[in-house]
Structure 1
Amino acid sequence: MKNLFIIRSPLQVLNAYEAIAHFKLKNNIFLIVQNHLDKNNVQMKEMLSMCEYEELIEMPPSKSNYFRYVALTRKLKKHAYNFIFFGNLGSFQKLLLANLEYEKSYLFDDGAYTLEYHGELPGTKQYTSIRDIRFLLAGLSIKRKKPVAYFTIFDLERKGEEEIVLHSFYHLKKGMGDILTLNNNIYFLGQCFVSADVVSYEAYLHYIKIVKNDFKGEKIVYIPHRAETITTELKKLEDEHFKIFENTMPIEMYFISQKIKPKCVVSFYSTALFTLSKIFDKSIVKSYAICEQDLKAKRKEGALLVQYFLKKAGLEVGTVCFNQSQEASHV
């Protein structure tokens, strides 16, 4: 039997590598689902060489996916599977879980999605959207056959009899060996808070200034998120101690490829902090929480959920706040 990996992000490639080694998997099919963010697609493609697979299927972005989903589902139905891995449960993933023959399915980590899905994903009760119903016209099922298990670094609270396989990137770290060299820079991971409508641009710029001030006198390397825009105001913050470095690969892979063991990594509620704290367990990893009143309503619940897990993991060091009528504050 085969194993199917449905991959949509660079982090999911890392998790696929770890899952293949953890479960000792052979006969792997990689289904790469691309999006409209070129950096995301390039990073995924560059990382594929680290994984063992026998077949690669690529899905470029498209405005309409119905016929592609139907055709691919029928193609993949020709095989039986031990495991199916995926990072989010969209229409296509649900379609595959409803129609393929498999032993188990695992949701592996894709940032905050893992935490949100674990909170929302029902064990037996399933919800069907109008978009899902259209697949019935093609003679396909729309109800998944089995419960979803988890392959994760997060300390999730088990619900009922669900299976949670906890890992700490043991195999990835084992492959690194002792080749890394300690680097004394402060690596500051940027986030796409503004484009994702989490906080205002003014607030985010103030947060950056707060962190910069906290590490005054030390060399800070600011690494923007792949979906973050480098503005003129952000560029103006550069000086001899604060440099912007536009990285072309996931931060985890950048450190590994450059043989860097970071002394300290800081960010806000980036889930990259979880992976880095596992991979570089001797490094200092810090998170600045954002005060609740700064978070925009539609993103507040997800942000607070990630911040809860960061605090639970002991990675939170303080809170940054912003008020338009005042200077930014630091708690």
Structure 2
Amino acid sequence: MKNLFIIGTPLQLINAIEAVKHFKLSNNILVIVHRSLEANRVQMDYLKSLYKWEEIIDVEYSRHSSIFKYIDLVKYLKKYSYKYIFISKLEVVPKIVIPNVTKENVFLLDDGVLTISIYENQIKPNKINKYDFKEIRFLFFGLNIKIKDKINLFTCFDLEPINGIEIVKNELNFLKETYLQNAKNNYENIYFLGHPLNESLVKKDVYISNLLSLIEKFNKKIIYIPHRGETKEMKNILSSIDSPLFNVVDINMPVELYFLENKIYPMQVIAYYSTALITLSTIYKECEISFISIPNGTSIDRDLINIYKIFNQEGFQELNL
């Protein structure tokens, strides 16, 4: 039997490799659904080389109809039976693959905020079979669309195994065993993880003001690591901050891998609501993890509330600026 991984981002690919190692899997097929973000493609081209897959299938996502492309993919994958299928989200490709192939287990891989959203809004209330026209139209081509399998989780998050699902803890052991040796403790710098700015949550001037407050509060150099989705305009604004204690470093890879590859053991990391804080706390047990919460008066969505709940459960420090 083979194992199938359907992913679309660098973090998902890292967690796919962790799953291969954790479950001791062989005969692994990787399906990568490529989207328009070029930074994703560059990072995944590198990450693919960390493990020798039996087969890699690249699927180019299109805003126009990709229905025949997806039908051909399902027909090809139906040739095999699978011990495990790992997915990263409940979107069109995994939703039509899962009901149409023979398999024993289905697991969801971590993808930051999205994992919490899928768990809380779809898995927990048992609402995984919600369809839009993109899925319904596959019925006309003889494909099934109803998922009858339990969606288990391979995750860094401490989540409750509700509705009979299995929760397998992802300790990121492959990354730690491969890269963590000889890492040097970095007490000199504070690493701030950026996030694509949503001005309904944090105004641009407040965002920048808080960064300046961090410099004043800690009197340490702030290394700002942009999210791959941040705009060039925002990066330019941040790069123009005139302080010897502030520097923007565009790493072009998952932050977890950046620290590991460069033998950096970060001792202090801060973000607003990056779920990379969870993975970093899993790898770097001695690192001080802090977050700046969105003001209470702001209309924040339930996913963000759940993230802050997890941050508090993990014992992360909330900063008041």
Residue type of the alignment partner of 1:15: N
Contact kept? 1:188, 1:220, Cα under 8 Å: yes
Contact kept? 2:226, 2:235, Cα under 8 Å: no
Determine which of 253, 259, 264 is the counterpart of 2:257: 253
Report deviation, 1:213. 2.7
Residue type of the alignment partner of 1:270: S
Map Cα deviations across residues 257-305 of structure 1 (whole Å, 9 max, x no partner): 11111121111110000000001112222222111323xx4x5222222
Three-state SS of the structure 2 residue aligned to 1:289 is coil
Contact kept? 1:99, 1:144, Cα under 8 Å: no
Counterparts of 1:133-212 in structure 2, within 5 Å, are 133-184=136-187, 185-194=189-198, 198-212=201-215
Three-state SS of the structure 2 residue aligned to 1:52 is coil
Residue type of the alignment partner of 2:48: L
Three-state SS of the structure 2 residue aligned to 1:98 is helix
Structure 2 equivalent of residue 109 of structure 1: 110
Structure 2 equivalent of residue 29 of structure 1: 29
Structure 2 equivalent of residue 9 of structure 1: 9
Three-state SS of the structure 2 residue aligned to 1:40 is helix
Give the Cα–Cα distance (whole angstroms) in 1 for the partners of residues 31 and 294 of structure 2. Answer: 36
Give the Cα–Cα distance (whole angstroms) in 2 for the partners of residues 5 and 11 of structure 1. Answer: 13
Determine which of 265, 269, 293 is the counterpart of 2:269: 265
Structure 2 equivalent of residue 223 of structure 1: 225
Report deviation, 1:138. 0.8
Structure 1 equivalent of residue 216 of structure 2: 213
> Structure 1 residues 199, 300: CA separation in 2 closer, same or farther (over 3 Å shift)?
farther
Give the Cα–Cα distance (whole angstroms) in 1 for the partners of residues 120 and 318 of structure 2. Answer: 25
Residue type of the alignment partner of 2:134: R
Report deviation, 1:309. 0.9
Structure 2 equivalent of residue 287 of structure 1: 291
Residue type of the alignment partner of 2:173: Y
What are the ranges of 5 or more consecutive residues in structure 1 without an aligned counterpart? 320-329
Contact kept? 2:215, 2:221, Cα under 8 Å: no
Counterparts of 1:117-128 in structure 2, within 5 Å, are 117-122=118-123, 126-128=129-131
Which shifted more, 30-39 or 280-289?
Answer: 280-289
What are the ranges of 5 or more consecutive residues in structure 2 without an aligned counterpart? none
Give the Cα–Cα distance (whole angstroms) in 1 for the partners of residues 134 and 229 of structure 2. Answer: 28
Three-state SS of the structure 2 residue aligned to 1:42 is helix
Counterparts of 1:86-97 in structure 2, within 5 Å, are 86-97=87-98
Report deviation, 1:241. 1.0
Give the Cα–Cα distance (whole angstroms) in 2 for the partners of residues 137 and 92 of structure 1. Answer: 16
Residue type of the alignment partner of 2:144: S
Three-state SS of the structure 2 residue aligned to 1:121 is helix
Three-state SS of the structure 2 residue aligned to 1:114 is helix
Report deviation, 1:231. 4.7
Residue type of the alignment partner of 1:219: K
Residue type of the alignment partner of 2:23: F
Cα RMSD, aligned residues only: 1.8
Contact kept? 1:116, 1:302, Cα under 8 Å: yes
> Structure 1 residues 256, 72: CA separation in 2 closer, same or farther (over 3 Å shift)?
same
**1:306 correspondence with 2:307:** yes
Give the Cα–Cα distance (whole angstroms) in 2 for the partners of residues 257 and 301 of structure 1. Answer: 35
Structure 2 equivalent of residue 327 of structure 1: none
**1:85 correspondence with 2:86:** yes
Contact kept? 1:99, 1:140, Cα under 8 Å: yes
Report deviation, 1:104. 0.3
Give the Cα–Cα distance (whole angstroms) in 2 for the partners of residues 300 and 238 of structure 1. Answer: 34
Which shifted more, 119-128 or 280-289?
Answer: 119-128
Determine which of 234, 239, 242 is the counterpart of 1:235: 239
Give the Cα–Cα distance (whole angstroms) in 2 for the partners of residues 241 and 122 of structure 1. Answer: 44
Report deviation, 1:220. 1.4
Which shifted more, 309-318 or 21-30?
Answer: 309-318
Alignment TM-score, normalising by the size of structure 1: 0.90
Give the Cα–Cα distance (whole angstroms) in 2 for the partners of residues 292 and 52 of structure 1. Answer: 47
Report deviation, 1:194. 3.0
Three-state SS of the structure 1 residue aligned to 2:4 is strand
Which shifted more, 207-216 or 62-71?
Answer: 207-216
Report deviation, 1:27. 0.4
Map Cα deviations across residues 30-50 of structure 1 (whole Å, 9 max, x no partner): 101111110011111111111
Structure 2 equivalent of residue 76 of structure 1: 77
